[in-house]
Amino acid sequence: MRPLALFFFLMVGAIAQANDAGGSLPALPGFDPGVEVATWNGRSWNISDNRIFQARFERYLSTPSDINQDTTEHFKILSRIRELLAPSKVSLQSREEAFRLLEEASDYAADDMLSDAISNQVFSAWLAQKDATLLQSATATLEAERKRLEWNLRIVAGTEGLGTPVAGNVAGQPQAPPNSRRALEMQQITARLAEVNILLKSNLLKKEVSQAQAKTDFQILIVQLFLQRRFQHVLIATRFYRSIFADGTSQQIKFGEEAQNLFTKTTGHAPTLTSLDSLCGELISNAHDGVNAFKALLAEREMARAAKRLSEAFVIGEYLTPLDVVPISEKRQALVFIQKSNQLLSALDVKDYILAEKLVNDLQAAAKDFDASKANAAIQAAKTASALHLAKARNAADSGDKAALETELEAAAAIWPTNPALAEVAAGIYSRGNVNARALVEFEQLVGQRGWRQIYNERMRFIPAVANAPEKQAKLQEIIDNIIMIDRTVARAQDLERRGDPAGAWEITEVVYRQFPEEYPRLNKQHDQLTLQAADYVEAVSTAESLEAAGELGSSLSWFLQAQTIYPSGELAKAGMQRLGHLILPDSW
Amino acid sequence: MSDRLLTKRWRLILLPVVALVAVGSWFLFFGTKDVFRTAVPLDVSAYITGANSLRGNTYKLEGEVTALLAWSPSGRLVSFGVEGSNRAIPLLFSSEFDSVNIQKGQRLKVLVLVEDKGVLHAKKLAKL
């Protein structure tokens, strides 16, 4: 309760300052539940018990409205009491009528027995006043006694010279007593006079103390009602107070020291009955205006501003009738909006951007004045950053950089922990890792079996698998290059064969065949067929090379010459001739 | 009878001697002028299957230069189409024949030595 009261004081101060400045009453404080800060005229206050306020406000929004006969009757009675106690109308009869209505008002549930408390306080004040009257009567009696004693004392003391008749003493007047008797009589009168004076002072003190106590008790009640934001009752209590203690003395209110200081600092002067009365009237009016603004904005589907106006009105007039009679259907709309707004803050806080995005859409659909820019910016920024880290994670996975992969995945998860793509990417990476591992094993098996063609056919599966193994990567590249070369060679050989050049066709297959003997069935088959078709050339070249290998350079060269005769374009023959020419004539060219 | 017998014996002795003298005189008169007469033609078919058995021997060849295979300051290597054979074989002409023009299409008679590694090294040549 205390923090709310302080918050309320701040608002009071702000209102007073705005009034002092001569400006129109500013909008009521803005309250941002996200940052627990209340703003007013460019000033901000951290409200430490924001959650308490939020809970109270949501409880209010979810409570069915008191739109019934009792509420209306209670409101009417309180209004009637205020009218009866208005300074321009107050009289003994109206005061008694107002007192009677207090008892009636306290019977309603909405009153929370506050009218009864005021009634008790009024009665106590009256009793205090009655005591004062009795004391006044006693004082008057004592005053008369004092006057009588003083006169007697003057008479007794006025006899000059004991035993000597007083000059001018007329006949019929008692004779002056003798000296000793007169002295005794004076002593008695003096003692009695002193006693009477003491009683008079005592009565005066009693009266003052009694009235001061009654005032203090009444002020405490007023302050309590004010801090509880029971402004209607504050108005009634202050008016009763003024009618009871209309003695022209100061009507300053004494708060507790902290509250007094805060009130003085924020308003610039000490709290008085008048200032409280004025403030309460103004705050009731503001709460009423806030509710009207809420209804108008609600009709325009401007939920954000409507909820804000209602929350501001609630801060002021939680217990005021205008807020009590807001229909539950209208409060429900505000409640849903506020709950979704709070849910959005929570979603952003826990980085659940999917939920946040859905809530933003819901809120935008429900409230045309909902400002989604900040939320959208936060959501999009997080999504972009997360996607960037995931992309880096994929790259790291592809390049086999496990440290970078983990770092990037962690960064992506930190930015957007519930990102669906995070799980997919992670699963994909690890799944791909498994697939790659299997593919790598298969690749190694095929290399062992010399299944080059199969490796080539499934190269798309093996390429990512060997990405992390440079040696295997080089082997795969070699296999792919070889297959490509062989396929091209076979294609060229087939073409030459079709054009009637079997020796040329054989020769190009022979060159490749010598690199990969018996390894590529397709090449082997083509090579075997061409060997038969270009048998003479093949024989000449083969014999030449055999003889060359045996060191028979002359005979070998004769066969190369024969081969060239058979197939003048033969590269093997030409190469053989050049090679042997250099062997026979080392310095030739 | 005995004279007849003696005459017959002398005739039998003299005739081979005369023949021998005639042949010797022919060799003395002609053999020193044509060395190719004494050389044996190269067995090309044997050579192309391997020159191991021919190494160190001298043979004569007649045929046509079909191509110059290699040239260096130390000699020339030519392709030589052997007459009577459909094969060409390589012939090495060392620098001693630098003064002789050897070109494609020339018909030559060559005395060759089968050297190490079966290379036919020309020792004498004559243009046909």
**Residues in chain A within 8 Å Cβ distance of B90:** 554, 557-558, 561, 580, 584
pLDDT digits (tens, 9 = 90+) for A417-462: 878 887 777 777 766 667 777 888 889 889 888 888 899 998 888 8
Find the Cα–Cα–Cα–Cα dihedral A260, A266, A268, A271, rounded to 10°. Answer: -40
First to last CA, chain B: 59
Q: How far is A534 from chain B (nearest CA, A)?
A: 19
Pick from A287, A265, A286, A270: nearest CA to A219: A270
Residues B18 and B44 in one domain: no
Same domain (yes/no): B119, B66: yes
Cα separation, A120 vs A240, whole angstroms: 12
Same domain, B87 and B43: yes
Where do we find the tokens 């002028």?
B33
Contact B120 A554 (CB under 8 A): yes
Question: What pLDDT does residue B118 have?
Answer: 92
Q: HSE (CB half, 13 Å, CA atoms) of B12?
A: 6
Q: Cβ–Cβ of A587/B48 closer than 8 Å?
A: no
Query: B15 with B63, same domain?
Result: no
Q: Hey, which residues does B72 pair with through a beta bridge?
A: B75
Model pLDDT, residue A574 = 93
pLDDT value of residue A564? 93
Which residue among B48, B71, B72 sits closest to A558, beta carbon to beta carbon? B48
Judged by a CB distance cut-off of 8 A, whether residue B78 touches chain A is no
Q: Assess whether pLDDT exceeds 70 at residue A588.
A: yes
- Which domain does B23 fall in, by range? 2-33
How near does any CA of chain B get to the CA of A571, in Å?
A: 15
Identify whether residues B92 and B123 lie together within a single domain: yes
Which member of A550, A556, A585 has the closest CB to residue B70? A585
Lowest-confidence range among A11-25, A65-79, A118-132, A290-304? Answer: A11-25
**Euclidean distance between CA atoms A293 and A3, whole angstroms:** 27
Q: Are A555 and B48 in contact (CB under 8 A)?
A: yes
Residues B75 and B108 in one domain: yes
CA distances A510 to A131, A481, A484, A528, A542, Å, are 138, 18, 16, 10, 11
The DSSP letter of residue A166 is: P
Tell me the per-residue pLDDT of B66-123, one tens digit each, with 9 for 90 and over: 999 999 999 999 999 999 888 999 999 999 998 999 989 999 999 999 998 999 999 9
In the predicted model, what is the mean pLDDT of chain A?
Answer: 80
- Contact between chains at A555 and B79 (C-beta distance less than 8 A): no
In angstroms, rounded to a whole number, what is the distance separating the alpha carbons of residues A285 and A462? 80
User: Which residue in the block uniquely carries the two structure tokens 């008002």?
Assistant: A105
* Structural domains of chain B, count: 2
Tokens of A554: 């002359």
pLDDT at A5: 47
Q: Who contacts A490 (Cβ-Cβ below 8 Å, separation ≥6)?
A: A509, A522, A523, A526
pLDDT at A11: 53
Q: Where are the domains of chain A?
A: 67-161+175-203, 381-453, 534-589
Spatial neighbors of B11 by CB under 8 A, at least 6 apart, are none
Shared domain check, B12 and B74: no
Same domain for B7 and B63: no
CA distance B71 to chain A (A): 5
Q: DSSP class of residue A503?
A: H
Q: CA nearest A547 in B: which residue?
A: B50
Facing residues of B82 across strands? B63
Average pLDDT over residues A385-411: 83
Q: B123 and B75: one domain?
A: yes
Residue A538, classed as helix, strand or coil, is: helix
Decide if the complex's ipTM is over 0.85.
Answer: no
Quote the DSSP letter at residue B53. Answer: G
Q: What is the pLDDT of residues A241-270, one digit of tens each?
A: 888 877 655 566 666 676 677 667 666 677
CB A165 within 8 A of CB A175: yes
A367, A299 in Cβ contact below 8 A?
no
Q: Which of A48-62, A355-369, A524-538 has the lowest mean pLDDT?
A: A48-62
Whether B48 sits inside 8 A of A551 (CB atoms) is no
**Tens digit of each residue's pLDDT (9 = 90 or more) over A210-229:** 777 888 888 888 888 888 88
Measured CA to CA, the distance from residue A546 to residue A531 in angstroms comes to 17
- Residues B11 and B55 placed together within one structural domain of the fold: no
The model's confidence at residue B28, banded by pLDDT at 50, 70 and 90, is low
pLDDT digits (tens, 9 = 90+) for A167-203: 445 445 555 556 777 788 888 888 888 888 888 888 8
Same domain membership, residue B25 and residue B79? no
Helix/strand/coil for A249: coil
pLDDT over 80 at B2, yes or no: no
Directed axis angle between helix A179-227 and helix A231-244, to 10°? 160
Residues of B numbered 2-41 whose beta carbons fall under 8 angstroms of chain A's beta carbons: which are they? none
Q: Closest partner residue to B72 among A557, A580, A585, by Cβ? A: A585
